[in-house]
């Protein structure tokens, strides 16, 4: 017979289990109806767990030279990884994870240049720790397309790749101090120096993102709730640098660097009429694709300041001419000059006796410079001229980290030495900027390297640089007289610039030999311990190019002078560049060239326009067989030289024979018809990819091979 306690215990248990059941059932019904646990929405949690987000790559803007040559762009590279989680594989027959770490390591080791044991250890550790995948450090990154394909051919289960962008500079050290470099930081390629840094706001890309729901194998569901944010590529930047002239400069600097082993080389070429920097380079340089050991990060020609030496004298003479106190036939006693108890001497110590001031400029007389600046113009006025030439301020070039010199002018001795380029310091770019006033009839131009910014999407111009006159320190008449004096320095009987004379073009300029200060005061001694420089322009009557070259502490033979490495660079670059630009040689006395104003021939009969043009121009080319003119190049209303090629485009254009054309003429044709050009070699065209008489298709591709005439 059961006791009452037994019945009571059973009743309590039934009640307890019933309560638990009701609580669980109620909780279940609550969760089912509300889809929430402890405030967490299960539907949202499941959706989040099923959702994957991936970034969508965007490209940083490209950098081009003035003719469309690609100088910097994003190139895809690959990062290798290995999936080690067995649950990722859908079947044992076709595994999608690493099944054999030892075999995988054996195959990958030689392809990644890694130790086999290192790879195997990484994979097994990841498996033991329950990780999904493993990467292989720096050895597994920046793989090329060829390396990726070679690894894929091995068909290793679980091995896969992720694409990454890397900034690439196809020409290596070419113009590296202008272009600069960019590197990948936090998933973005970011500019660090040069144009890459200066134009970051335009070049920078914005990655996109896509998210969707997927199963555990990564397959998108039928209703994936996809969200897409489109990537935004950076804009394209076009430089004023001309690839051909820059190549002339790079080659010449490389030759001097190898032969003379100088401490530094600085050189730049500018169009003095616009301020465009068409070439600029330094040695030592660096390859932005390989930033291992870099000897020189700085763009010395815009950042480094030092005593300019005798190149400063062109501004002293220009100041005296502008001030109305200069008579080149007046004479002075050369040799020495006393100021405040200090004796200033000419570079040959004893001078040349009683000579004219014009001859003093040819011979680069320190005494003549001292008398002009200190006595004739006067310290106060001369100091103002230095400011007018902007030698006490930055040029404002559109590159980062521009430096500036310092005008030392507190005491009489400093006022005197500044007149011939000692004590006071400037950057090479400050000198070039000031010299544009002499080359450009008194108008001083702001230097620039950034020509325009275009949309990477449709090529539309977003921002375009216009030439800017920043001052007019001298008159056109003074500038003309100075160019005559500069020409005498090179071609005159007593000129110090004789080693710089060109074959086909007149050159005007000024040599400079700057002393190098040493620690503790004073200057270094010895003929090699100088900065040898030249600042010149050509053709001297109407300069098309302005160039500065400086070579610091070259290793010279006993018979060599500092002008030899400098003149090699200047002569090579100037001569080749002027020919490349199809500038008329002015050293040939038999050749008569006139300046003629072009008229607008659009709509006129082809035969009549051709006949009229041939009366004035030596080279007239008709483009096609049409009866009516649709365009004449150059355009009407512009002044052109009679030896320049004129193109007459008809309403039925056909490809002409361009053999013997300069690259500049080819570019005129290409620009009109929107052709892409690839040029190989130097000199003039001897082969063309589009045959004579063929149809000219807009946005077509033209390859020309050039050679230098014998």
Domain CATH for 638: 3.30.10.20
In this structure, are 505 and 568 located in the same domain? Answer: yes
For the ranges 58-67, 177-186, 385-394, 540-549, which has the lowest average pLDDT? 177-186
Q: Which of the two residues, 86 and 363, has the higher pLDDT score?
A: 363
The pLDDT of residue 560 is 83
**Which residues are identified as catalytic?**
310
In this structure, are 223 and 299 located in the same domain? Answer: no
Q: Give a yes or no: residue 466 inside a domain.
A: yes
For the ranges 85-89, 208-212, 349-353, which has the lowest average pLDDT? 208-212
Domain CATH for 70: 3.90.1310.10
The pLDDT of residue 682 is 62
Burial class (CB in 10 A: 0-12, 13-18, 19+), 36: middle
In this structure, are 478 and 558 located in the same domain? Answer: yes
DSSP secondary structure code for residue 389 in this structure: T
The pLDDT of residue 179 is 94
- pLDDT-based confidence at residue 474 (cuts at 50, 70, 90): very high
CA-CA distance, 332 to 485, in Å (whole number)? 17
Q: Which of the two residues, 162 and 394, has the higher pLDDT score?
A: 394
Query: Token pair for residue 257?
Result: 């660097």
CA-CA distance, 589 to 595, in Å (whole number)? 17
Is 190 a residue whose pLDDT tops 50?
A: yes
- What's the Cα-to-Cα distance from 135 to each of 126, 140, 162, 645, rounded to whole Å? 10, 7, 11, 61
Q: What is the mean pLDDT of residues 315-344?
A: 95
- The CB-side HSE value for 596 (13 A sphere, CA atoms) comes to 21
Q: Give a yes or no: residue 683 inside a domain.
A: yes
95-102: long-range pairs with CB below 8 Å, 24+: 95/157, 95/158, 96/157, 96/158, 96/217, 97/157, 97/158, 98/123, 98/127, 98/156, 98/157, 98/158, 98/159, 99/157, 99/158, 101/127
Query: Token pair for residue 496?
Result: 């110090």
Q: Give a yes or no: residue 489 inside a domain.
A: yes
Please choose, from the candidates 191, 200, 190, 173, the residue with its C-alpha nearest in 3D space to the C-alpha of residue 280. Answer: 173
* Whole-number percent of the chain with pLDDT over 70: 88
Contacts of 199 (CB under 8 A, 6+ apart): 61, 191, 237, 450, 453
In this structure, are 443 and 530 located in the same domain? Answer: yes
User: Looking at 232, 262, 277, which one is the last position of a domain?
Assistant: 232
pTM of the shown model: 0.73
Give whichever of 199-208, 423-432, 620-629, 691-700 has the largest mean pLDDT: 423-432
Q: Give a yes or no: residue 238 inside a domain.
A: no
pLDDT (tens digit per residue) in 109-149 = 888 888 888 888 888 888 888 888 888 887 888 888 888 88
Buried residues in 495-512 as b, exposed as e (16+ CB within 10 A): bbbbbbebebbbbbbbbb
In this structure, are 77 and 162 located in the same domain? Answer: yes
- pLDDT-based confidence at residue 591 (cuts at 50, 70, 90): very low
Is 33 a residue whose pLDDT tops 80?
A: no
- pLDDT-based confidence at residue 710 (cuts at 50, 70, 90): very low
Judge contact between 471 and 437, C-beta under 8 A: yes
User: Looking at 580, 607, 626, which one is the last position of a domain?
Assistant: 580
Q: Give a yes or no: residue 324 inside a domain.
A: yes
Q: Which domain holds residue 667?
A: 595-707
Judge contact between 198 and 400, C-beta under 8 A: yes
Q: What is the mean pLDDT of residues 209-236?
A: 68
Is 482 a residue whose pLDDT tops 60?
A: yes
Q: Give a yes or no: residue 240 inside a domain.
A: no
CA-CA distance, 271 to 240, in Å (whole number)? 10
Domain count, the chain: 4
pLDDT (tens digit per residue) in 367-405 = 999 999 999 999 999 999 999 999 999 999 999 999 999
Give whichever of 185-189, 489-493, 538-542 has the largest mean pLDDT: 538-542
In this structure, are 391 and 428 located in the same domain? Answer: yes
- What's the Cα-to-Cα distance from 120 to each of 98, 398, 662, rounded to whole Å? 11, 52, 61
Is 41 a residue whose pLDDT tops 60?
A: no
The pLDDT of residue 187 is 65
Q: Give a yes or no: residue 39 inside a domain.
A: no
- pLDDT-based confidence at residue 587 (cuts at 50, 70, 90): confident
The pLDDT of residue 325 is 97
Buried residues in 650-662 as b, exposed as e (16+ CB within 10 A): beebbbbebeebb
Judge contact between 205 and 415, C-beta under 8 A: no
Q: Which of the two residues, 328 and 9, has the higher pLDDT score?
A: 328
Please provide the average confidence, as pLDDT, over all residues in the chain. Answer: 86
The pLDDT of residue 38 is 55
Query: Token pair for residue 265?
Result: 């080389």
Q: Give a yes or no: residue 496 inside a domain.
A: yes
The DSSP bridge partners found for residue 531 are: 514, 552
- pLDDT-based confidence at residue 518 (cuts at 50, 70, 90): confident
In this structure, are 419 and 386 located in the same domain? Answer: yes
User: Looking at 204, 232, 260, which one is the last position of a domain?
Assistant: 232
- Residue whose entry in the numeric block shows the structure tokens 């002044």: 639
The DSSP bridge partners found for residue 83 are: 133
Consecutive H or E run containing 124: helix 116-128
In this structure, are 544 and 646 located in the same domain? Answer: no
In this structure, are 65 and 22 located in the same domain? Answer: no
Contacts of 170 (CB under 8 A, 6+ apart): 70, 71, 73
In this structure, are 71 and 157 located in the same domain? Answer: yes
Domain CATH for 400: 3.40.710.10
Helix segments in 157-266, DSSP class H: 176-179, 194-198, 200-203, 243-260
Is 42 a residue whose pLDDT tops 50?
A: no
Indicate the Cα dihedral angle 198, 200, 203, 205, nearest 10°.
170
Q: What is the mean pLDDT of residues 25-47?
A: 55
In this structure, are 211 and 346 located in the same domain? Answer: no
The pLDDT of residue 708 is 56
- Residue whose entry in the numeric block shows the structure tokens 């131009």: 445
In this structure, are 286 and 377 located in the same domain? Answer: yes
Query: Token pair for residue 477?
Result: 């008449």
């Amino acid at each position: 017979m059961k006791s009452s306690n037994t019945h009571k215990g059973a009743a309590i248990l039934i009640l307890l289990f019933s309560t638990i059941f009701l609580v669980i059932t109620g909780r279940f019904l609550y969760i089912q109806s509300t889809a929430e646990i402890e405030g967490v929405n299960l539907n949202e949690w499941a959706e989040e767990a099923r959702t994957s987000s991936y970034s969508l790559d965007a490209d940083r803007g490209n950098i081009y030279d003035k003719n469309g040559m690609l100088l910097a762009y994003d190139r895809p590279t690959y990062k290798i990884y290995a999936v080690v989680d067995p649950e990722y594989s859908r079947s044992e027959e076709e595994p999608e994870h690493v099944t054999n770490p030892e075999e995988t390591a054996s195959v990958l080791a030689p392809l990644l240049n890694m130790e086999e044991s290192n790879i195997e250890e990484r994979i097994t550790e990841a498996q033991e720790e329950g990780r999904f995948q493993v990467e292989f450090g720096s050895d597994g990154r920046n793989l090329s397309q060829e390396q990726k394909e070679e690894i894929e051919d091995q068909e290793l289960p679980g091995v896969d790749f992720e694409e990454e962008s890397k900034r690439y500079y196809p020409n290596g050290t070419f113009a590296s101090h202008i272009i600069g470099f960019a590197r990948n930081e936090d998933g973005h390629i970011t500019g660090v120096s040069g144009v890459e840094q200066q134009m970051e706001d335009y070049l920078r890309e914005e990655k996109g993102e896509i998210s969707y729901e997927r199963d555990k194998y990564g397959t998108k569901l039928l209703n994936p709730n996809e969200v897409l944010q489109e990537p935004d590529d950076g804009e394209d930047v076009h430089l004023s640098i001309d690839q051909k002239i820059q190549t002339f400069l790079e080659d010449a600097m490389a030759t001097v660097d190898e032969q003379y082993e100088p401490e530094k080389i600085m050189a730049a070429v500018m169009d003095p009429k616009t301020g465009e920097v068409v070439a600029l380079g330094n040695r030592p340089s660096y390859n932005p694709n390989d930033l291992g050991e870099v000897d020189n990060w700085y763009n010395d020609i815009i950042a480094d300041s030092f005593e300019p030496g005798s190149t400063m004298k062109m501004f002293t003479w220009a100041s005296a001419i502008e001030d109305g106190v200069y008579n080149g036939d007046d004479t002075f006693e050369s040799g020495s000059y006393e100021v405040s108890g200090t004796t200033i001497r000419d570079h040959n110590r004893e001078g040349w006796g009683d000579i004219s001031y014009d001859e003093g400029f040819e011979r680069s007389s320190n005494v003549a410079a001292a008398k002009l600046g200190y006595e004739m113009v006067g310290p106060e006025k001369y100091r103002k001229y230095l400011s007018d030439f902007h030698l006490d301020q930055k040029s404002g070039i559109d590159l980062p980290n521009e430096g500036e010199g310092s005008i030392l002018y507190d005491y009489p001795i400093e006022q005197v030495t500044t007149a011939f380029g000692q004590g006071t310091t400037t950057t090479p770019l400050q000198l070039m900027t000031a010299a544009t006033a002499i080359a450009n009839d008194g108008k001083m131009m702001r230097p620039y390297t950034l020509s325009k910014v275009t949309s990477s999407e449709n090529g539309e111009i977003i921002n375009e640089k216009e030439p800017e006159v920043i001052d007019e320190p001298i008159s056109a008449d003074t500038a003309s007289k100075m160019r005559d004096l500069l020409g005498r320095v090179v071609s005159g009987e007593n000129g110090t610039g004789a080693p710089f004379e060109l074959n086909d073009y007149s050159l005007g300029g000024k040599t400079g030999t700057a002393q190098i200060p040493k620690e503790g005061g004073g200057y270094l001694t010895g003929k090699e311990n100088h900065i040898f420089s030249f600042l010149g322009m050509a053709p001297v009557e109407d300069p098309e190019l302005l160039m500065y070259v400086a070579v610091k502490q070259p290793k010279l033979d006993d018979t060599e002078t500092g002008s030899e490495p400098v003149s090699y660079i200047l002569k090579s670059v100037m001569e080749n560049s002027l020919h490349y630009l199809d500038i008329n040689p002015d050293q040939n006395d038999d050749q008569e060239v006139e300046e003629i104003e072009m008229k607008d021939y659009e709509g006129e009969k082809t035969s009549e326009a051709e006949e009229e043009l041939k009366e004035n121009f030596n080279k007239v080319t008709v483009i096609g067989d049409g009866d009516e003119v649709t365009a004449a190049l150059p355009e009407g209303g512009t002044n052109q030289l009679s030896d320049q090629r004129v193109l007459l485009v008809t309403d039925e254009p056909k490809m002409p024979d361009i053999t013997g054309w300069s690259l500049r003429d080819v570019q005129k044709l290409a620009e009109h018809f929107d052709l892409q050009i690839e040029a190989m070699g130097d000199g003039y065209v001897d082969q063309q990819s589009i045959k004579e008489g063929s149809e000219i298709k807009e946005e077509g591709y033209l390859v020309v091979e050039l050679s230098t005439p014998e």
